[in-house]
Amino acid sequence: MLGLLLQAVDRANQGLVVCDEVGTVVVCNAPARELMNARDGDLLAEKAIEAALGRALSGAEHEEMLDLYSPTRHTLEIRAFPLGTGQPPAGAVALVDDVSELRRLEAVRRDFVANLSHELKTPLGALSLLAETLDGEEDPEVVGRLTSRLGAEARRFSRIVDDLLDLSRIEAGGTGTLSPVPLSAVIAEAVDGFHDQGTTRGIRLDVGQVDDSILVMANRRDLCSAVANLVDNAIKYSEPGAAVHVSTSVSESRACIRVRDEGIGIPRREQERIFERFYRVDRARSRWTGGTGLGLAIVRHVAAYHGGEVSVESVEGEGSSFTLCIPLGRPEPADG
């Protein structure tokens, strides 16, 4: 019975340490042993757990957060309770949780909310200022200009809201199930509409041939919008006269869609961060291109729920190349 119980607590995620009335450790489960196994910074964890047990033995519950910086940065939550009903207690138990990931997620969420408030407040503030400027304005030329600015800020606001709704839907696992979709159709649909836009800006859109028989497991709408997002970015960050190349490659299990531009490129230190929500390399440029700061976050989440990933290679001054890879699909068996 006791043997089974000891094996069971070894399976817990939480570190558990029990000591007797004089503080001798009598049970220490596997996660706790890992923590107590004194390597560099973990010595601190061991000391903190012992101290917590000591406090509990004096009859008081104890709770603390311990920040460790070595070997990696993490945060432990240590709680200790006296055991038994007598005084002094018959023993004590310490429960140890690694709350680093929880802490990190909380920080990400706080940042997101702070960023989001700012991103929404800016176009709203612009609307408020523009409305006041319009008030009493009699010059039709000025009224026309201000009205068009009002429209632009309202559209920007709704783009942010649309992207946020898309992002939260996709983060929740996307809509519908994945089914085999021809890769050629995804590419054709994604680049449709950009030919004109590219031409307007003097940018040539070069789309490679895709074998019609290649299928990918996809939610067609989301995958198309992810690829379209990459093409849109490539065009926005290209100078007139440059080309944007869309190509595909297929391996045994995956298909990769590559969107390459000859634009300004992305500094190496920023390449990891560009997939974060509201992260922008160049805020001034983003302002002019009308980006919401959510496009690449959407692409990353689409890739993830398709069981794939998106990556970037870029050299400043030479261009960027985004590659979106997802698993291949097999033809659905014909009915009957």
Partner 1 sequence: MPLLLVRHAHAHARRDWSGDDRLRPLSSNGVKQAEGLIATARKFTPVTRVLSSPYTRCVQAVQPLAATLGLGVEEVPELEEGQSSAAVRLVRALAGKDVAICTHGDVIVEVLVTLADEDRVDLGPNPRQAKGSVWVLDGSDGSFSSAQYLPPVLVETV
Q: Are 45 and 66 in contact, with CB atoms under 8 Å apart?
A: yes
Q: Does 294 sit near partner 1 (CB under 8 A)?
A: no
Q: Does 132 sit near partner 1 (CB under 8 A)?
A: yes
Distance CA 104, CA 195 (A): 42
Q: Helix, strand, or coil here: 95? A: strand
Q: Does 122 sit near partner 1 (CB under 8 A)?
A: yes
Among 12, 60, 142, 315, binds partner 1 (CB under 8 A): 142
Please spell the DSSP secondary structure of 188-257, one letter per residue: HHHHTTHHHHHHHTT-EEEE----TT-EEEE-HHHHHHHHHHHHHHHHHT--TT-EEEEEEEE-SSEEEE
Interface with partner 1: number of residues (CB under 8 A): 23
Cβ distance to partner 1 smaller for residue 128 or 199: 128
Among 2, 26, 176, 283, binds partner 1 (CB under 8 A): 283
Task: Check the CA dihedral 133-134-135-139 and report its sign.
Answer: positive
Among 284, 330, 332, 334, binds partner 1 (CB under 8 A): 284
Q: Single out the residue of 314, 292, 8, 82 nearest to residue 167, CA to CA.
A: 292
Long-range CB pairs of 184-187, under 8 A, 24+ apart, other chains included = 184/210, 184/211, 184/212, 184/214, 185/220, 186/216, 186/218, 186/220, 186/223, 186/224, 186/227, 186/257, 187/227, 187/246, 187/248, 187/257
Rounded least distance, CB 264 to partner 1, Å: 17
Rounded least distance, CB 203 to partner 1, Å: 23
How many whole angstroms from its chain centre is CA 144? Answer: 41
Cβ distance to partner 1 smaller for residue 82 or 291: 291
Among 47, 109, 121, 195, binds partner 1 (CB under 8 A): 121
Among 56, 130, 210, 228, binds partner 1 (CB under 8 A): 130
Stretch that binds partner 1, among 37-45, 105-113, 116-124, 256-264 (CB under 8 A): 116-124
Distance CA 186, CA 219 (A): 10
Among 13, 87, 138, 333, binds partner 1 (CB under 8 A): 138
Among 60, 249, 287, 315, binds partner 1 (CB under 8 A): 287
Stretch that binds partner 1, among 44-52, 79-87, 134-142, 303-311 (CB under 8 A): 134-142
Q: Does 159 sit near partner 1 (CB under 8 A)?
A: no
Q: Does 315 sit near partner 1 (CB under 8 A)?
A: no
Q: Are strands 204-207 and 215-218 parallel, antiparallel or unpaired?
A: unpaired
Q: Which residues bind partner 1 (CB under 8 A)?
A: 118, 121-122, 125-126, 128-130, 132-133, 136-139, 142, 145-146, 149, 153, 283-284, 286-287
